[in-house]
Structure 1
Amino acid sequence: MELTTGSQSSEAPMITIGTLAPDFTARTTLGQRSLSDYRGRWLVFFSHPADFTPVCTSEFVTFSKLFPAFQELNCDLLALSVDSLSSHIAWVLSIKERFDVSVTFPLIEDPSMSIARAYGMLPPDALDSSTVRASFVIDPDGVIRAISWYPMSVGRSVAEILRLVTALQTSDADAVSTPEGWQSGDPAIDAAPLSLEDAINHQPSAAAPDWYFRFRDKGAK
């Protein structure tokens, strides 16, 4: 496994929204992969605490079922844990046998925990990966656009991650924001006026209750 963080420091870089995702090359269940292989596409890069665990299995079953929906958004999935490649392969076979679900996206092995540490998933002195359940949404330029963290006992909502990718793409394409609970096809929020005159002259309506809160009509650019 090779890791490129852009720094020779022994400390992991600070990973925040808007930073460039550290590149790496590693073995996966689908052959060798590098993060840079995904440039030009969206990517959900996520970690799980361990193979053959019930919460992680429930997540992988749902990620696999919704994988075609991610693909429709020009978005790939890439998973990681500290388990070995042999463990990953055995787990994928078990999921197929017991749940009749094929995991068709790659799982990275990270036994040295170097990738997990580079992404801040683990503290520098961690001895295992028991606290890791992190998700990163990375855009086609390799920039981290969203980060979520869950404890070991709570599974993620894959549908919410799919909604998040959709919302990010809509925001980028239409220069809008998305309100609470937004779903594809719902009205988005337009930018507020930038002048006092526009605010004073604003006429309240159902689509624009006040000058700073304005929905954009569906299909409007």
Structure 2
Amino acid sequence: MSTENDNCECEECISMPVLGEPAPDFEAVTTQGPIKLSDFKGKWVVLFSHPADFTPVCTTEFMAFAKIYDELQKMNTQLIGLSIDSVHSHLAWIKNIKEKMGVEIPFPVIADLNMNVAKLYGMIQKGMGTTSAVRAVFFIDPEGKMRAMIYYPQSNGRYIPEVIRIIKAFQTSDEYGVATPANWQPGDKVIVPPPATQKEVEKRPTEGYECKEWYLCFKGV
């Protein structure tokens, strides 16, 4: 027997992206003109939301994101912002940040007044209110798949260097077929995949890795 929730048409039914699955595609108006997520196929994408323009914590975050923009570009990564504000509000805020703070915002900012993108990405969460997006960051790989998601409340700003670290970790894992340990930083040793057979377990000590145990071995890249 079906229920009204089967159609998921109520406002309470919020979509959530799924790790490893294609990120929800969208078309949106931004401060740099219309964009589609699919336009960035072949690039990494960092999509982040902020609760509102002209607010203190968001202003500090925008300035911090602006400072890592060039580094992200060198890493084949596109940065995109979003809030449930109009494009005119975004433009006025960006102008204010440049005039008062001396920081130019180089990345596009989505004007999501109809909340279409925010709902696709689970940015509207009832516990935090229904008229603004929470702070969220989504990491989308060049194939368009969702690789990581981080959600924060409105009250606390993000640690922006973590954005760079995560992208470098993904790129390292993809290039070398390895994992990164806790607190990994670029240049640190990485974890090689554990043996999958008894024969591989016996061979592991001869492979030249730095092993703590047969299932936990490190190497440099």
Question: Equivalent residue for 1:209?
Answer: 212
Query: Given the alignment, which residue of 140, 165, 169 partners 1:138?
Result: 140
- 8 Å CA contact 2:138–2:148 kept in 1: the answer is yes
TM-score, reference length from structure 1: 0.88
Q: Give deviations 1:172-210, integer Å, cap 9, x for gaps.
A: 110000011111121111011122244356549982111
Alpha-carbon distance between aligned partners in 2 of 1:196 and 1:153, rounded to the nearest angstrom: 51
CA contact (8 A) 2:98 2:104 kept: yes
Match of 1:93 in 2: 95
In structure 2, list runs of 5 or more residues that go unmatched: 1-6
What is the aligned residue count? Answer: 210
Superposed counterparts of 1:62-77, under 5 Å: 62-77=64-79
Name 2:150's counterpart in structure 1.
Answer: 148
Preserved CA contact (<8 Å) 2:22 2:146: yes
TM-score (norm 2): 0.88
Distance across 2 between alignment mates of 1:100 and 1:168: 33
RMSD between superposed Cα atoms in Å: 2.1
**1:117 maps onto 2:136 in alignment:** no
Q: Deviations over 1:7-42 (max 9, x none)?
A: x96455441211211111111111111111111100
Aligned equivalents of 2:203, 2:41: Cα separation in 1: 45
Letter of the structure 1 residue corresponding to residue 186 of structure 2: S
**Cα displacement string for residues 49-104 of structure 1 (whole angstroms, at most 9, x for unaligned residues):** 00111111111101101101111110010010001111100110111112111101
The answer for the alignment partner of 2:55 in structure 1 is: 53
Partner in structure 2 of residue 159 of structure 1: 161
Of 11, 15, 18 in structure 2, the residue corresponding to residue 16 of structure 1 is 18
Q: Which residues of structure 1 form unaligned runs of 5+?
A: 1-7
Q: CA deviation at 1:115?
A: 1.1
**Which deviations, in whole Å up to 9, do the C-alpha atoms of 1:103-157 show, x marking residues without a partner?**
010000011112101111114896301x511110001111110000001111111
